[in-house]
Amino acid sequence: MRSTVPLAAVAASAMVFILTGCGGAPSGDELSYEDSPLNEYLSAAWGGDLSPEEQQKKMEEQQAKVEALVAQCMSDEGFEYTPNTDSGTVMSDGGEWEPDKREWVEKYGYGYVNSPFAEQVEENPSDEEGSDPNSEYVMSLSESEQTAFYETLYGPTPSEDEISEDGSYEYNWEDAGCQGWAQHEIDGDDPTQAEEFSELRKKIEELYSTAQDSPELADLNAEWASCMADKGEPGFTKQMDAGQSIMDEQNKIYEQAFGDGSEPVDTESADFEDPNDSPEMKALTEREIELALVDLECREKTSFTKKSLEIQFAVEEKFIAANKADLEAFKAAAEQSK
């Protein structure tokens, strides 16, 4: 049985569209993702109504529950496993995410390679920041045992037939090892993941998939792409493609260093070179800023942020009108689960 993507995750991924070219506090009559009509219904589930501190606490508590179950599962399969309660994620109020401000873009570009959040972590490091409590145990295993450990933990690597052309594949918790099972056990306690909301979750997935194909947004992207070409950056058809091109190049650099994840890499080896310190990553940092600055100019010229949000919110309003009863029921279930 295929698991349905958690509604909280759908909402979070949906914000990728809304946040494209958008960040920081709006001024005057400018729109922001917080004006999203659907936000009223979804925020209760994905924590949008909580402070950064409350979101951090909730995330850490859920991480601890999941990891405890993972340890139980791994032990049942004959492996040692120490719960890894450090998610590596620090919740923020978003004040430092300002990709619509030139000063910010001149420093961070899109914030992918040189992330402001990485600086935040460096300023407030934990004693075990980024460390895996299981690394020493895994390295003590033979190569075949290491492979078995990771397959038990995460499930087998998807086959070529299971991976689509864009690199994605249909997630099934039953094939995702102990991590998949543990996450499913925790999500099962969430009433918003109940079967009664499965159709609503599917509709929201489809909403944000199809919204990006609207004629209005296509026209806006074409106007933006024309501006980019005029400024020496041809080849992009959608505004989000520009930032995606940086992430794609960054992933290639990481893949060269770490492989596809199917085999463990000894980062303590004298032969290992940190990809973050490589000449290629340095060059990509410079490229990111260069491209993001041109992108910013074209977003400003076309009023991309404001217009794209208006298009998105109009789609959401129609969706709400057609699914209001289900959305109200979902909101009530999310609020009662707190």
Please give the chain's pLDDT, 338 residues, in tens.
333 334 434 443 443 444 343 444 444 357 787 889 998 888 877 665 566 677 778 788 889 999 999 999 999 999 999 998 875 555 554 457 889 999 999 999 999 999 887 755 555 554 444 478 999 999 999 999 999 999 999 999 888 787 776 666 777 889 999 999 999 888 766 677 778 888 998 999 889 777 788 899 999 999 999 999 999 999 999 999 999 999 999 999 999 988 876 677 888 888 889 999 999 999 999 999 999 999 999 999 999 999 999 999 999 999 999 999 999 999 998 887 66
User: 10 Å Cβ neighbour count for 129?
Assistant: 11
With a CB cutoff of 8 Å and minimum separation 6, the contacts of 282 are none
- Residues 102, 299 contacting (CB under 8 angstroms): no
The helix or strand, by DSSP H or E, that contains position 64, with its residue range, turns out to be helix 52-76
With a CB cutoff of 8 Å and minimum separation 6, the contacts of 77 are 152, 178
With a CB cutoff of 8 Å and minimum separation 6, the contacts of 54 are 47
What's the pLDDT score for residue 89?
A: 56
Phi, psi of 206 (to 5 degrees): -65, -35
Helices 279-302 and 304-336 pack at an angle, to 10 degrees, of 100
Distance CA 119, CA 130 (A): 14
Distance CA 240, CA 243 (A): 6
State both tokens at 65. Answer: 């529950």
With a CB cutoff of 8 Å and minimum separation 6, the contacts of 216 are 311
Across 15-47, b (16+ Cβ under 10 Å) vs e yields bebbbbbbbbebeeeebbbeebbbbebbbbbbb
Across 53-88, b (16+ Cβ under 10 Å) vs e yields eebbeebeebbebbbebbbbbbeeeebebebbebee
**∠ CA 104-110-114 to the nearest 5 degrees?**
80
What's the pLDDT score for residue 167?
A: 64
Q: What is the DSSP letter of 171?
A: -
With a CB cutoff of 8 Å and minimum separation 6, the contacts of 299 are 21, 100, 224, 239, 305
| Whole-number Cα distances in Å, 337 to 4, 45, 154 | 19, 9, 29
- Residues 285, 114 contacting (CB under 8 angstroms): yes
What is the DSSP track for 94-117? Answer: STT--TTSHHHHHHHTTSSSS-HH
State both tokens at 13. Answer: 């991924």
